[in-house]
């Protein structure tokens, strides 16, 4: 039991990109509040570790290795979720990739297509298969991971920014499609969060970290757990009137 009680007792949560970072932190927060969790991602070892941690806090977990850009793989993972847990109540479409800051004319078409495919098209594919399952339950919640780069331009970020801006548009339009059906769809827009992805982005050096932290008015990176707390709120009954919102949590970076 925590300060919020068990807000998600018996709920079934489907998380993409759940093997590390924000996805893992969110899986554990849901589990601590009573949910059973499916974790989907490319790394079997990371998925299994998240599942083990979920089970450690007393909830059931399913680890599925799969590529969220593959519609068949997404459908298979959702089928396994329904078979294991009986249905679906919440989806956190969190899987994403980054690109080293690159001026637009130097980004290859292949790089652009890959960023759009993983960060935007895959979320469309996931929602397309998640929403019918939520309708069967009489409603539910979806949260998609956008970025501070989804609400503001950054130099070198044309491909990544396009994918994350597009994701907010996708979220807003889908939210209006299903608001009356008791499905709430929102997005989160994290700033600079201390995860493996940010480690790759900074080159893993003290200098790289310091340069990135200097962009944050609060003088530090955010923690995955801080983002997880917002995802849980958006999926809870406390956020029942929050529809199609792009929730920015970035230490003041985009103000």
Interatomic CA distance for residues 199 and 220, integer angstroms: 14
Catalytic residues: 160
For residue 105, the enclosing domain spans 12-247
| Domain of residue 16, CATH code | 3.40.50.720
CA-closest candidate to residue 178, choices 135, 146, 143: 135
pLDDT in tens, 32-43: 999 999 999 999
Evaluate whether residue 113 is within a structural domain.
yes
pLDDT in tens, 133-168: 999 999 999 999 999 999 999 999 999 999 999 999
Evaluate whether residue 255 is within a structural domain.
no
**226-236 average pLDDT score:** 98
Evaluate whether residue 166 is within a structural domain.
yes
pLDDT in tens, 51-98: 999 999 999 999 999 999 999 999 999 999 999 999 999 999 999 999
What lies within 8 Å, CB to CB, of 99 at 6+ separation is 107, 111, 115, 159, 160
CA atoms within a 13 Å half-sphere pointing along the CA-CB vector of 14: 34
**38-49 average pLDDT score:** 97
Evaluate whether residue 32 is within a structural domain.
yes
Evaluate whether residue 2 is within a structural domain.
no
Confidence of residue 209 (pLDDT cuts 50, 70, 90): confident
Report the number of distinct structural domains present in the chain.
1
Evaluate whether residue 4 is within a structural domain.
no
Confidence of residue 206 (pLDDT cuts 50, 70, 90): confident
Evaluate whether residue 67 is within a structural domain.
yes
What lies within 8 Å, CB to CB, of 238 at 6+ separation is 7
Evaluate whether residue 253 is within a structural domain.
no
Q: Any idea what DSSP says for residue 17?
A: T
pLDDT in tens, 95-132: 999 999 999 999 999 999 999 999 999 999 999 999 99
Q: Is 37 helix (H, G, I), strand (E, B) or coil?
A: strand
% of the chain at pLDDT higher than 70: 96
What is the per-residue pLDDT for 1?
45
Tokens 């098209």 sit on residue: 121
């Amino acid at each position: 039991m925590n300060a919020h009680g068990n807000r998600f007792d018996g709920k079934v949560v489907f998380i993409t990109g759940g093997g590390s970072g924000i996805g893992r932190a969110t899986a554990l927060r849901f589990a601590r509040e009573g949910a059973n969790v499916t974790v989907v991602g490319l790394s079997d070892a990371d998925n299994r570790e998240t599942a083990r941690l979920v089970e450690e806090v007393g909830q059931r977990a399913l680890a599925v290795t799969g590529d969220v850009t593959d519609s068949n793989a997404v459908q298979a993972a959702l089928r396994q979720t329904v078979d294991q847990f009986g249905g679906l109540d919440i989806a956190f479409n969190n899987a994403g990739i980054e690109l080293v800051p690159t001026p637009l004319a130097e980004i290859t078409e292949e790089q652009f297509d890959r960023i759009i495919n993983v960060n935007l098209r895959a979320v469309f594919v996931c929602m397309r298969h998640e929403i019918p399952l939520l309708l069967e339950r009489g409603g539910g919640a979806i949260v998609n991971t956008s970025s501070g780069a989804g609400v503001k331009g950054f130099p070198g970020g044309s491909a990544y920014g396009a994918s994350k801006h597009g994701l907010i548009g996708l979220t807003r339009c889908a939210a209006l499609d299903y608001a009356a059906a008791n499905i709430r769809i929102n997005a989160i827009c994290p700033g600079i969060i201390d995860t493996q992805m940010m480690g790759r982005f900074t080159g893993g050096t003290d200098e790289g970290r310091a340069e990135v932290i200097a962009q944050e008015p609060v003088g530090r990176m955010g923690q995955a757990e801080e983002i997880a707390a917002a995802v849980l709120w958006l999926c809870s009954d406390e956020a029942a009137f929050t529809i199609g919102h792009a929730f920015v949590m970035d230490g003041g970076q985009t103000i």
